[in-house]
Structure 1
């Protein structure tokens, strides 16, 4: 593939996949250490009915109505989980699982019963995303990267997920100390006069924002995989938190790049013309990385929390 072909066909989807993977992996590290990794799975499911309802009210799939609908659905899910937990007197994990599967099933039913024929919004889109079609139609080569007119026609998903990634990085950097203290020793943080309850809520909100921003472009499969697989793989590589964060970013980037390349060229290398989902392949690569670290990582046999 020449540079003139690569820029419009592969660069935007590849960058979107990388940004989405890293944006989900960063908060995923703290959720994993807090034993709340299922929250990422729950968020990626409960946003679907919010997105569909927003479409039914507005008749379009523009970004802001979708984000508002997904955010409201996330808030409703949190309230519902707490209500189910208290009224049903069941453990939080069971309440969470019941809520997100029910809401996701409701979103699928709404999609199937709604008239979405005029827009790209369906069950397959919700699961696999829209990554392959996010090409840069007005790009003519690498020189387009310096052309303001061409840059104005970039897929809107790229600046959106890039800004989300920057927000996640800034949040992690600004509140690093609070995140670490509330994750490893909440009682000690309280003795220092630090009220860490709000940082736990903020972490969930940031994870929800990352999931919602990535949902439209890459679908729920990548969102779920990236919240769990890169952080879990990184956890097996080191016993230091800072190094774990770095490893999770590396694994997320490798998953996105290698998965996208294998989805595009893997079938051709095997002599097949059948298309392969980029989102599914990226998630598969992240799973293979996790399996490999579980077998060969240097810290796979140690116990206890990482040092920080």
Structure 2
């Protein structure tokens, strides 16, 4: 039963991050996901210090607020003339450092440490269960991640056309009256929620892998957004299951093995994708040379 809960938790993380990751990759904002995953740390710390509780809902709110602040600060620095990569680096390192100080100074003797926040341990998810009226309803992480996935799918489903147009052509989206900034911050808010919802199971650092790698792999396999979203979820699910069994075989980190499997799938797609793979591009160049000869 423990195997089932671990794989299910990894799959929920991969599905949530995979859907959002597609839009980050298309909008060339992959590193913003990395920045948010680090900068939510002070939001988690502040939520804990205010409430003296590790209540997941409060941490979700704290992380979402800090995620939006991160995006706002990055945009502000870019508008001030700073390059995109420099803006991201400055904001997330500064906020991450503040979070480290808050936790090390105020929560040193409490079960809220940097290893928990940054690395997580998916092998322990089955021990923290939700009890309702005396009934064991399963791991808290599964319910929290499942709820986050439902929320993400609901928002993307309701505003799919708007998110799609904003991802491919923001100028056209603004011209037809779509509030591009609103959907930008809505996407970033969902990335923040997904990051903190995953930090106890996969970890805030490793969730970056699930945000970017499956989506990037799917990007190489199709030119249609709807298919890309489906492929990203499937690749994340395969990475979770394959990574778990690989970790058992190697006696290694489960979360690390999941990202490693995702990386292997990306390399395979990068080389053998019929649309954008190295082999396909090589064959196209050969055909062009043959035709021109």
Distance 1:207 1:137 in 2: 24
Report the alpha carbon displacement of residue 78 of structure 1 after superposing the two structures with TM. Answer: 2.8
What is the CA deviation profile of residues 242-267 of structure 1, one whole-angstrom value per residue up to 9, with x for unaligned ones? Answer: 22111111111011111122222323
Aligned residues: 278
Describe the shift of the 1:113–1:90 C-alpha distance in structure 2 as closer, same or farther (beyond 3 A). Answer: same
Corresponding residue of 2:23: 30
- 2:95 pairs, out of 99, 103, 113, with 103
**Unaligned 5+ residue runs, structure 2?**
282-293
In the alignment, structure 1 residue 214 sits paired with structure 2 residue 190: no
Corresponding residue of 1:306: none
Distance 1:169 1:127 in 2: 25
What is the CA deviation profile of residues 167-212 of structure 1, one whole-angstrom value per residue up to 9, with x for unaligned ones? Answer: 1111121111111112222333344343333222222222222122
Corresponding residue of 1:270: none
In the alignment, structure 1 residue 296 sits paired with structure 2 residue 289: no
**Unaligned 5+ residue runs, structure 1?**
1-6, 139-146, 268-275, 304-308
Query: Given that residues 222 and 282 in structure 1 are in contact (C-alpha distance below 8 angstroms), is that contact kept between their aligned partners in structure 2?
Result: no
Distance 2:184 2:51 in 1: 33
TM-score, normalised with respect to structure 2: 0.86
Q: Superposition RMSD on alpha carbons, in Å?
A: 2.4
Query: Given that residues 196 and 204 in structure 2 are in contact (C-alpha distance below 8 angstroms), is that contact kept between their aligned partners in structure 1?
Result: no
Q: What pairs with 1:98-247 in structure 2 (closer than 5 Å)?
A: 98-119=90-111, 121-136=112-127, 150-152=135-137, 154-247=138-231
What is the CA deviation profile of residues 101-128 of structure 1, one whole-angstrom value per residue up to 9, with x for unaligned ones? Answer: 2222332233333344332x22221222
Describe the shift of the 1:191–1:105 C-alpha distance in structure 2 as closer, same or farther (beyond 3 A). Answer: closer
Distance 1:190 1:78 in 2: 19
In the alignment, structure 1 residue 91 sits paired with structure 2 residue 83: yes
Distance 2:257 2:57 in 1: 29
Describe the shift of the 1:85–1:178 C-alpha distance in structure 2 as closer, same or farther (beyond 3 A). Answer: closer
Describe the shift of the 1:30–1:82 C-alpha distance in structure 2 as closer, same or farther (beyond 3 A). Answer: closer
Q: SS where residue 220 of structure 1 aligns?
A: coil
Corresponding residue of 2:290: none
Describe the shift of the 1:242–1:59 C-alpha distance in structure 2 as closer, same or farther (beyond 3 A). Answer: same
Corresponding residue of 1:271: none
Query: Given that residues 12 and 136 in structure 1 are in contact (C-alpha distance below 8 angstroms), is that contact kept between their aligned partners in structure 2?
Result: no
Distance 1:188 1:57 in 2: 43
What is the CA deviation profile of residues 81-103 of structure 1, one whole-angstrom value per residue up to 9, with x for unaligned ones? Answer: 2343345x311331112111222
Runs of 4+ in 1 over 4 A off after TM superposition: 147-150
Report the alpha carbon displacement of residue 62 of structure 1 after superposing the two structures with TM. Answer: 1.4
Query: Given that residues 221 and 283 in structure 1 are in contact (C-alpha distance below 8 angstroms), is that contact kept between their aligned partners in structure 2?
Result: no
Describe the shift of the 1:17–1:92 C-alpha distance in structure 2 as closer, same or farther (beyond 3 A). Answer: same
Distance 1:90 1:39 in 2: 15
In the alignment, structure 1 residue 66 sits paired with structure 2 residue 59: yes
Describe the shift of the 1:199–1:86 C-alpha distance in structure 2 as closer, same or farther (beyond 3 A). Answer: closer
Distance 1:186 1:78 in 2: 17
Distance 2:165 2:107 in 1: 48
TM-score, normalised with respect to structure 1: 0.82
Distance 2:35 2:128 in 1: 35
